[in-house]
Structure 1
Amino acid sequence: MIIHLDMQSEVPIYTQLEHQIVEGIAAGKLQPGELLPSVRQLASDVGINLHTVNKVYTRLKQEGYILVHRQRGVVVNPEGMPSATSEFLEKQAVELRPIIAEAILRGMSRQELAEVMERIYAEIALPKKEES
């Protein structure tokens, strides 16, 4: 999986990295049990501070997307991904609320917003299904 970070973006580097790893897992580009680069290696590869990578790995571990083994290193959770709990659904609602509000302010219809979400969902989910 290739990581592309926009150093000029208003989105923090750790958020960009976290999102790209999660998307890589969702799209099937990173498989359960697959070894991820070490903190030092990933930091070196993408040109960022190792503390930033460590923060991302810690967050992904807390969410259940990755496991950290002393001998094997960092791996995509081989036991599968966490389920959509009520807490997760609430978190998603909180994060989507300002996006939806801004879309309304800019004149997007409910249909246009739904179409954007459907397109993004398909871009992420279809590569995974095509491999099956």
Structure 2
Amino acid sequence: MLLEIDAQSQTPIYQQICHQLIIGIAKNKLKPGEMLPSVRQMADEIGVNMMTVSKAYTLLKSDGYILTDRRNGTKVAEKKSLDPLFQQRFLNDLELLLAEASIHQLSENKIQEEVKQIYKKFEQ
């Protein structure tokens, strides 16, 4: 599994790793039960510090996207049912994004079109 890391991005590398793995899971490029590289392997593959990968894996584990076991390694977790804490965080984040869209005069129709197009990527 090779991720594309942008060292010039304002997004921290550990967040880039998290985002790309979550998108990979949503698009079924990473299947439940699939083994992920160890922290060391991932760090070597993408050329970053092991602590950066470790931080990403820790966050992904705490959010339930991956499972880790010292003997069996790290693997993709089963897809989750809707969690009220996630739903609240999602709505808070969405409200902020929609506020920014409103400030930039992005129309509701355009937003809905974009959401539909993006969501289709995850249904395949």
Q: Identify the TM-score tier after normalising by the shorter chain.
A: over 0.9
SS in 1 for 2:115: helix
Q: Which residue matches 1:107?
A: 105
Distance 1:96 1:109 in 2: 15
Q: Deviations over 1:47-88 (max 9, x none)?
A: 1111111111111111111111111210112xx222221111
Q: Which residue matches 2:89?
A: 91
Q: Which residue matches 1:82?
A: 80
The Cα of 1:97 is off from its aligned counterpart by 2.1
The Cα of 1:99 is off from its aligned counterpart by 1.5
- Matched length: 124
Superposed counterparts of 1:4-15, under 5 Å? 4-15=4-15
TM-score scaled by structure 2?
Answer: 0.93
The Cα of 1:40 is off from its aligned counterpart by 0.6
Q: In structure 2, list runs of 5 or more residues that go unmatched.
A: none
The Cα of 1:125 is off from its aligned counterpart by 2.5
TM-score scaled by structure 1?
Answer: 0.88
SS in 2 for 1:92: helix
Q: Are positions 1:121 and 2:119 aligned together?
A: yes
Q: Which residue matches 1:130?
A: none
- % identical aligned pairs: 41
CA RMSD of aligned residues (A): 1.2
Q: Which residue matches 1:38?
A: 38
